[in-house]
A and B are shown apart, each in its own frame.
Chain A
């Protein structure tokens, strides 16, 4: 059976456009505020949302997401809030996944976590620090629960390893645009397009590009060659240190322009032909 995420990506491909995916940590700026922000993203035309699991030691995140996660943790966010936020997004009809560092999954219970995600209507989990070598228990649990296992690859990932990692991935492949941590950047690195091209050589799964994609111009550029555009820090920046209602107005403005830009991207040809479309869950 296809997950909602797979359906959404499939549909975007059918429309010859890239899907727009937004990231926000659960509990930021508050548990309820986060749900409202998710509503804004969905209503503005985002195709899917990634709910971040705020973590005490986010080694892959730059200052903006660190601050947001810190704030969420200071608000006392727990596993149930992450799952509750996920449930909120899926109830609204959105395709939604959780993005989390590994330890919270291990402490929750690997099997239990996969099932809780499925129960909340989630399509899968992005696990940015779960290396291929350590991934097997999670893949088995996720398969049993019928959810996607989304792995991140980087410009430094060798072709040989790209084959391995994409081989255990489902839903989409998360291509890190550059060597670095999350954050806003003034331009999207060239390495992103090169990486996407290398991934296309070994896999026909949809590829979404994230890390540092911040502006509508950048989203449009990425949307010309990728199947998905992931925006995180730029969205969070709209809410950081601001009154919630004001922040949501700014967020909506940005979200709408990102959605318009992504849809207006000039794509030469459909990413990959129909026969090779999104794979089912393993």
Chain B
């Protein structure tokens, strides 16, 4: 599924729909990505950080008690929640921060929804001595106050964005504006597999380590490939990371779980693929939520990290060619799965991740005991404790 190197197209999706001012920087980035992919010292440096800093490889946990609620299917959790900073986001950030150093830039900017990507960016910036500015929708700064404090403790500047819906999409707009203005000194660490080429390819390459490790771990544990791989989909980075090494294994079902919010029928959701249609947003063509004129429609989800009206272009393509499925999971279904994992396994997942768990409950019931479901446990739920406590009336 490798996109063409120069244009970054996945079928009719991807590409570059950006101000001309950014083209030179995107060209430099694409070239750098191609070179560093096979650069021994870069690969070694990144791999050293994975081992000694973020704690890779992340472990595989078999969830036996949770499996009882999944029709007896075997449930394997890829524990990205155990990474330093608490989610998969660090994989991409360390890669891009190292690239920033090599480009001789001293300042990084990032957008964040749940705050996980912002925290990871602030962390990598602290580690590598880079200045860091994080754009975050004002609405999200309230939902994810803990992560705002974390970023500030790490020395980053957090800029609340008050434009538009005051969530992730508006934070991306503001980060793009900063980048257009400061591109000579600044690298934009985009946090998911969306945006203009080369971001969808580059971010995927930094996350495929999730799938590479998991594939070997599942084979070692069970002696076979999993029946299905499941992951939640906001922009789609944790999902593409775990899907990627399985794309050519046609026997393995790939299922992305989108945020269904109050339900697709209500129009209040964030399911770009299940509930949207192709268009251009944030520099690339993909599925998105939009009205008949092409104006972006605001998304809705209890999960800040999935509350985004677009999705990465590679997912759009995988969907169109029938290689991956995308299901909507409502807030309610996600919160039930959240609670279930807490009580059966002693793991508090991120609410984003809970969407993948809800998908596993559905699929497990469909497939039964002879199936093995590999789930990307993309993040931990510390940041969501307040939201969850309020949701369950415990606050």
Chain A residues in the interface with B (C-beta under 8 A): 55-62, 66, 70, 73, 78-79, 102-108, 128-131, 133-134, 151-158, 161, 165, 176, 179-181
Contacts and interface: CB of A to CB of B under 8 A. Distances in A.
Contact of A181 (B164, B170, B181): B181
B17 A131 contact: yes
Interface in B261-297: 279-283, 285, 290, 292-296
Contacts of A129: 17-19, 283
B293 A79 contact: yes
A106 B19 contact: no
Interface stretch (B21-29, B201-209, B335-343): B21-29
B324 interface: no
Interface size class of B (residues with CB under 8 A): 35 or more
B163 interface: yes
Contacts of B117: none
B164 to A, nearest CB: 7
Contacts of B382: none
B293 A107 contact: yes
Main secondary structure of the interface of B (DSSP, over half): mixed
Contacts of A157: 20-21, 23-24
A55 B296 CA distance: 8
Among A56, A105, A107, A161, find the residue whose CB has the most chain B CB atoms closer than 10 A.
Answer: A56
Interface in B205-253: none
Query: What 10 pairs between A and B have smallest CB-CB spacing?
Result: A107-B294, A154-B21, A103-B294, A180-B181, A59-B176, A104-B294, A156-B24, A56-B296, A103-B280, A56-B295
Contacts of A73: 295
B379 interface: no
Contacts of B295: 55-56, 73, 104
Given A57-B164, A60-B19, A179 B281 contact: no
A59 B170 CA distance: 9
B23 A66 contact: no
B23 A57 contact: no
Interface of B: 6-7, 15-25, 163-164, 169-170, 173, 176-177, 180-184, 279-283, 285, 290, 292-296
A156 B183 contact: yes
B21 A59 contact: no
Contacts of B176: 59
Contacts of B19: 59-60, 128-129, 152, 154, 176
Given A133-B6, A158-B24, A180-B181, 9 more contacts: A57-B282, A60-B180, A107-B279, A130-B17, A134-B15, A154-B21, A154-B23, A156-B22, A165-B20
Nearest to A59: B176
Contacts of B16: 131, 133-134
Contacts of B17: 102-103, 129-131, 134
Among B15, B21, B180, find the residue whose CB has the most chain A CB atoms closer than 10 A.
Answer: B21
Main secondary structure of the interface of A (DSSP, over half): loop
Given A103-B290, A104-B295, A107-B293, A133 B15 contact: yes
A154 B20 contact: yes
Nearest to B15: A134
A131 B15 contact: yes
A78 B293 contact: yes
A252 B308 CA distance: 42
Given A58-B173, A179-B21, A106 B15 contact: no
A176 B183 contact: no
Contact of B293 (A59, A60, A108, A152): A108
Contacts of A130: 17
A102 B280 CA distance: 7
B282 A179 contact: no
9 contacts: A61-B177, A107-B279, A129-B17, A131-B17, A131-B20, A154-B21, A156-B20, A157-B24, A176-B20
A157 B20 CA distance: 7
A151 B296 CA distance: 24
A275 to B, nearest CB: 29
Contacts of A161: 23-24
A179 B294 contact: no
Nearest to B165: A56
B23 A106 contact: no
A57 to B, nearest CB: 5
Nearest to A66: B163
Contacts of B294: 55, 103-108
A73 B18 CA distance: 22
Given A55-B295, A103-B294, A107-B294, A131 B18 contact: yes
Contacts of A61: 177
B23 A103 contact: no
B311 to A, nearest CB: 15
Contacts of B177: 59-62, 181
Nearest to A179: B21
A271 B385 CA distance: 65
Nearest to A55: B295
A96 to B, nearest CB: 20
Contacts of B181: 179-181
A133 B14 CA distance: 11
A107 B292 contact: yes
A188 to B, nearest CB: 16
Nearest to A105: B294
